[in-house]
């Protein structure tokens, strides 16, 4: 197995050095970090528990209700303002 020399900025080197364990080479460090970050998102797909799914569904429903209530309130305010403007125009 061969080796490669790579160039990295000093700040990146310092961050890597801070994560490096005492008994670990930089190659070991990079290997460990790459193993930690190469998780396939599909491995966890569909693993939401039924309780979590119910909670998420409740949160989404509450959010939709709040959005709908807010929209309805803004529409009523706009219609009231429009009615006031029309009434002012008719009396003028």
Nearest to 30 by CA among 51, 52, 45, 8: 8
Q: Which residues contact 21 (CB under 8 A, 6 or more apart)?
A: 28, 29
Please give the average per-residue pLDDT across 5-34, as a whole number: 94
Residues 54 and 87 grouped into a single domain:
yes
* Residue 42 DSSP label: G
Please give the average per-residue pLDDT across 28-32, as a whole number: 92
The whole-number pLDDT of residue 48 equals 78
The whole-number pLDDT of residue 35 equals 82
CA atoms within 13 A on the CB side of 29: 14
Can you give the residue range of the structural domain that contains 75? 48-91
pLDDT surpasses 80 at 11: yes
pLDDT band at 86 (very low <50, low <70, confident <90, very high): confident
Nearest to 33 by CA among 45, 46, 16: 16
Domain annotation covers residue 58: yes
Residues 33 and 60 grouped into a single domain:
no
pLDDT surpasses 80 at 38: no
Q: Which residues contact 46 (CB under 8 A, 6 or more apart)?
A: none
Residues 87 and 56 grouped into a single domain:
yes
The whole-number pLDDT of residue 92 equals 66
């Amino acid at each position: 197995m061969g080796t490669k020399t790579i160039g990295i900025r000093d700040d990146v080197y310092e961050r890597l050095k801070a994560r490096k364990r005492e008994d670990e080479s930089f190659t070991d460090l990079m290997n460990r970090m790459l193993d930690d970050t190469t998780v396939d998102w599909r491995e966890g797909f569909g693993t939401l528990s039924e309780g979590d799914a119910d909670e998420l569904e409740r949160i989404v429903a509450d959010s939709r209700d709040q959005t709908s209530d807010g929209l309805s309130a803004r529409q009523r305010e706009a219609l009231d303002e429009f009615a006031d403007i029309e009434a002012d125009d008719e009396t003028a």
